[in-house]
Amino acid sequence: MKLPKIEEMLKAGMHFGHRSSRWHPKMKQFIFTSRKGIYILDLAKSQEKLKEALGFIQGLVKENKTILFVGTKNQVKAPLKAMAEETGMAYITGKWLGGYITNFAVVKKSIKKYQDLLNMKATGKIEKYTKKEQIKIDKEIASLEQSVGGLNNLNKLPDALFVWDIKKEKTAITEANKKNIPIIAICDTNVNPELVAYPIPGNDDSTKTMKLILNAVKESIIEAQAETKKESK
C-alpha cells in the first residue's frame, strides 16, 4: 500500500479545516491547533486514519465485495468518476435520489432498463422505431445515465460506501446507516466523524486533496485487484 507522506498532505492543503465558528465538537480529537480563526487538522492522525481506510478497502476488494463511491460536490465529480471507472467500481456523481439504498429493488429495475436501452442501441434494434420514438429513447437513455449510469455493474446493495463530504451527502449517510453498510468518508472539521466507520480527517474542499486521496484509493484498489488475480491463477 502506497500511503501519501505527511509532506504531500501538507502541500495539498489537506490540513486546513473550516473556521473555528463552524466546527463539530466530535472532530476535536483530530484538530491540531487553530490559526487566524481556521482549524488545522493533525496530519499524523489523518495519515493513520487513511491507512486504516485503505486497508479496509483492500480487504473488501480481495473478497470481491462492492464499494459505491459517492461524490456530488462539483469539484470532486470528475476525479471521483474517473477513479471509479478506472477501477471498475460503482459511483454516483449526480444528485443522490432518496432510496438509492433503502429502495434498491426499484433502482435495480432502472439499471436493467438502462442496460436494455443501451443494448437496443448498440445492436441496431432502435432502428425499427420511428425518428420521434428514437429521440424519445435517446432522451430516456440520457436521463438514466444521469441517475444510474455509474451503477451499471451493481446488482446488489453495496458492501460499503466511500463518501466525499458527509455534510453534503447526508441522505446517503442516513440510508447506509439504516442498512448497516459501513462508510468510509473524508471528514472536515464541521462534521460528526462518528456517523462513519472509517473517517479520514481532511479538507473536503481542496482539489489537490481530492487528487491525492483518490489517487491513493485507486492505487490501493488496483494493488488488491492484482493480488487477487495472481492468487486465483
User: What structural domains and CATH numbers belong to the chain?
Assistant: 11-101+157-232 (3.40.50.10490), 105-150 (1.10.287.610)
Give this prediction's pTM. Answer: 0.93
| Residue stretches of the chain with pLDDT short of 70 | 233
**CA distances in angstroms from 217 to 45, 203, 221, 225, listed in the order given:** 17, 16, 6, 12
pLDDT for position 188: 96
* pLDDT for residue 59: 97
pLDDT, position 51: 98
Q: What does the pLDDT read at residue 76?
A: 97
pLDDT at 21: 87
